[in-house]
Amino acid sequence: MDDPENRRLPSRDNGGDGPGGWKAWLQMLLALAIVVGLIIALRWAIGRLGGQTASTESDVLRVVSRTAVTTKQELVLVRMGGRLVLVGRSPAGMARLGEVDDPAEVERIVAGKAAREQAEGGEA
């Protein structure tokens, strides 16, 4: 009746249709490309918005100097109008450590910092 030599196994070639066909692979790769493209576009948009709204310098506030104390802690000297504020920054947050209110002292500190930067730039 049944000849074992004439028996055939079901064909795995489904012509691109079905769960293992090339159409399914193409659809999956297209979906992956869309997701990756959306991630890149979102990252770019966040960078653009963050760059426009956050500024490190302004007419009112200006970072005069930074000094690392440890890898996770630093001292930041900020000029606010006519005064200087020393701020400590760490992973736990920020804290005001000191303040210079005297306008003559503020100008002396800022001018000294500018002179040191100019001298270092001239030597290089």
Beta strands 93-100; 83-90: pairing state: antiparallel
pLDDT tens track for 19-60: 678 888 899 999 999 999 999 998 888 877 765 444 555 667
Per-residue pLDDT for 16 more than 80?
Answer: no
Q: Is 35 left (phi over 0), alpha (psi -120 to 50) or beta?
A: alpha
The more confidently predicted of residues 2 and 21 is 21
User: For the whole model, what pTM was predicted?
Assistant: 0.48
Cα(110)–Cα(124) distance, integer angstroms: 22
Sheet holding 83-90, edge to edge: 61-68, 74-80, 83-90, 93-100
The more confidently predicted of residues 120 and 98 is 98
pLDDT tens track for 69-106: 999 999 999 888 888 999 999 999 999 999 988 888 88
User: What pLDDT is attached to residue 32?
Assistant: 95
Per-residue pLDDT for 63 more than 60?
Answer: yes
User: What pLDDT is attached to residue 96?
Assistant: 93
Other beta carbons less than 10 A from residue 77's beta carbon = 20
